[in-house]
Amino acid sequence: MPIAATQTSRISLQQLRKGDRGRIESTDLPADDAAMLRALGLRPDAPVRMCRMGQTCIVEVCDRLGGGCRIGLARSLAERVVVRRDEF
């Protein structure tokens, strides 16, 4: 079912579970906040991994070689970042 598949793969960053991986697709934030997240590394197509879920979550922005950084993110920001969850 393509529609269902689309619905489950495009979720907010806040909905990723611990250990889930995905890629940033878009943000629905004021320009300054969006620019800050983008400069921090949360940019379109960036691979991410959820390290801790919760009111404030921790996501790892990881490149193909394993470099990258971890970012603590308030719920108000994380729930307005759309990701494509990697399906295994």
Partner 1 sequence: MSVVEPKPEPPARPEAGGVESPSVRSLAEVPTRIAVLGNPNVGKTTLFNRLAGVRHKTANFPGTTQEAHLGRLVGGSSAASGEAKASAPLLIDLPGVYSLSLNVAEAQICRAVLAGELAPMGTTPAAPDALLVVVDATNLLRTLALAAEAAAMGKPMVVAVNQMDVARRRGLHVDADALSQRLGCPVVAISARTGDGIDGLVSALRQPVQPLKEFGGLGERSEIEAWADSVYAEVASASSPVSNKLADRLDAAFTHPLVGVGLFAAVMTGLFWVIFRLANYPMDWIDALFGWAGGTVAGTLPEGPIQSLLVDGVIAGVGATVIFLPQIVLLFFLLSLLEGTGYLARAAFVIDRLLRPFGLSGHAFVPLLSGHACALPGIMAARAVPDRRDRIATILAVPFMSCTARIPVYVLLTTLLFPGRPGLQALAFTGCYALGVVAGLVTSLLFRRTVLKGKSLPMALELPAYRLPDLRLALLTTRDRAWVFLRKAGVVILGISVVLWWLGTYPQSPPPREAVELQAVATAIETTGQEVWVLESRPAFGLVQGEAVSAAEVRAQAESIAARHSARRTVLGRLGATMQPVFEPLGYDRQLVIGVLASFAAREVFVSTMAVQVIGREDFDEDNGIQDALANAKRDDGTPVFGTATSWSLLVYYVLAMQCLPTLAVTAREAGGWKWAGLQLGWMTMLAYVLAAAAYRIALAMGAS
Q: Could you list the residues that contact partner 1 (CB under 8 A)?
A: 25-28, 32-41, 43-45, 51-52, 54-56, 58, 60-61, 63, 65-74, 76-77
What's the rounded Cα separation, in Å, for the pair 70 and 59? 6
Would you say 5 or 44 has its CB closer to partner 1? 44
In one letter, which amino acid is 35? A
Would you say 1 or 36 has its CB closer to partner 1? 36
Would you say 15 or 84 has its CB closer to partner 1? 84
What's the rounded Cα separation, in Å, for the pair 9 and 82? 10
| Minimum distance, C-beta of residue 13 to partner 1, in the bound complex (Å) | 12
Nearest to residue 10, comparing CAs of 28, 1, 20, 23? 23
